[in-house]
């Protein structure tokens, strides 16, 4: 399945049916009077978060969603049929943006959460509704209200408890495969991860979801590389795990590169709790590990975990530190439903 996390769609609610101008015509009924029915309401367009989806790829092949219009009213006081609604099924974590791609209409973060995007037009009144003591035979009816047409953006932000960050080849995919049920692509060249991966991690009888995004490089906030396209997927995370390649000769520079790009992307990511880990320690001797760990501690001003995803060294302590931060952080807030 291909991954798609941003797409434009065009929606239109149905127009209301016109009211009917009709008069009762029966044998032996001299003054039948008006009996025109009202038009049916137009169908509305909704969006609903459903389980089992993790991509917006379906909206690449169908981008136009038009609800049915209401049926016109009929004689004998018959109301027209209401138009059918359309429901856009989207993954949990989908943001719905206005055409400017900035204004958030709704944020669907729980299964079953539903939002009205375009309300159907009301049906027009038939001439029966205009009958009064002074106008016994009205010969007019209302047209139906027009539907609403608009362009919206769907932006998916995967919901995970912890996010993995690091330069390309920092060992993020190997770490995710070692601690979870995920099976991301792993190879000895940069940018093996092209789309975000999710894995469920179990620790001390509890579970949490971890997200791995493509590696960041210097200048990512200006559009270089792939990672900047997917940083939105770790905005919802409660804690970030920053992996630094222990075999690199510029570990402090590598660390500062990621921090700089996070802060340049958004204040939200820059202020998130972070846990720092020196990875690939199985390829280093004890003296080198000590030296590079101290250098990272000095650069970050906090503790550094020494781990190896391949050898399984230090993973348990790191996962427990992540779980402690996840429990400390408040749950993700639901976006308020919006109606026009």
Binding residues for GTP: 166-173, 191-195, 212-215, 279-282, 308-310
The pair of three-digit structure tokens given for residue 135, joined into one six-digit string: 């106008």
Residue ranges of alpha helices (H) inside the chain are 58-61, 172-179, 251-265, 267-270, 286-300, 315-328
Strand ordering across the sheet containing 149-156: 64-66, 6-12, 149-156, 94-97, 104-108
Residue ranges of alpha helices (H) inside 194-314 are 251-265, 267-270, 286-300
Residue ranges of alpha helices (H) inside 81-206 are 172-179
Q: Which residues are annotated as a binding site?
A: 166-173, 191-195, 212-215, 279-282, 308-310
> How far is C-alpha 330 from the geometric centre of its chain's CA atoms?
19
CB atoms within 10 A of CB 190: 14
Asked if 36 and 75 touch (Cβ cutoff 8 Å), the reply is yes
Helix axes 251-265 and 286-300, enclosed angle (nearest 10): 30
DSSP tag of 215: P
Distance CA 216, CA 226 (A): 7
- The Cβ-side half-sphere exposure at 319, using a 13 Å CA radius, reads 23
Distance CA 265, CA 224 (A): 13
Q: Which residues are annotated as a binding site for Mg(2+)?
A: 173, 193
């Amino acid at each position: 399945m291909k991954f798609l996390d941003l797409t434009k769609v065009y929606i239109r609610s149905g127009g209301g049916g016109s009211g009917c101008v009709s008069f009762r015509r029966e044998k032996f009924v001299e003054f039948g009077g008006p009996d025109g029915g009202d038009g049916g309401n137009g169908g509305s367009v909704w969006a609903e978060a459903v389980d089992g989806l993790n991509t917006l790829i379906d909206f690449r092949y169908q981008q136009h969603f038009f609800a049915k219009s209401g049926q016109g009213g009929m004689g004998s006081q018959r109301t027209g049929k209401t138009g059918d609604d359309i429901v856009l099924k989207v993954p949990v974590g989908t943001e719905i943006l206005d055409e400017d791609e900035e204004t958030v209409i709704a944020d669907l973060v729980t299964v079953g959460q539903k939002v009205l995007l375009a309300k159907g037009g009301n049906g027009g009144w038939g001439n029966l509704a205009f009958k009064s003591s002074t106008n016994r035979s009205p010969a007019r009816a209302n047209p139906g209200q027009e539907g609403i047409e608009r362009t919206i953006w769907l932006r998916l932000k995967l919901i995970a408890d912890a996010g993995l960050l690091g330069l390309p080849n920092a060992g993020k995919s190997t770490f995710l495969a070692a601690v979870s049920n995920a099976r991301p692509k792993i190879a000895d060249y940069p940018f093996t991860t092209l789309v975000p991966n999710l894995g469920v991690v179990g620790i001390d009888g509890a579970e949490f979801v971890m997200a791995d995004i493509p590696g960041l490089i210097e200048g990512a906030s200006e559009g270089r590389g792939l990672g900047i396209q997917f940083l939105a997927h770790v905005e919802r995370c409660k804690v970030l795990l920053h992996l630094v390649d222990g075999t690199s000769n510029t570990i402090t520079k590598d660390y500062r590169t990621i921090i700089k790009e996070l802060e340049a992307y958004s204040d939200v990511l820059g202020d998130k709790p972070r846990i720092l880990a020196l990875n690939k320690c199985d390829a280093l001797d004890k003296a080198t590990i000590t030296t590079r760990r101290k250098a990272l501690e000095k650069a970050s001003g906090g503790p550094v975990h020494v781990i190896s995803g391949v050898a399984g060294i230090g993973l348990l302590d790191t996962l427990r530190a992540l779980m402690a931060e996840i429990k400390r952080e408040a749950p993700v807030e639901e976006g308020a439903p919006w109606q026009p």
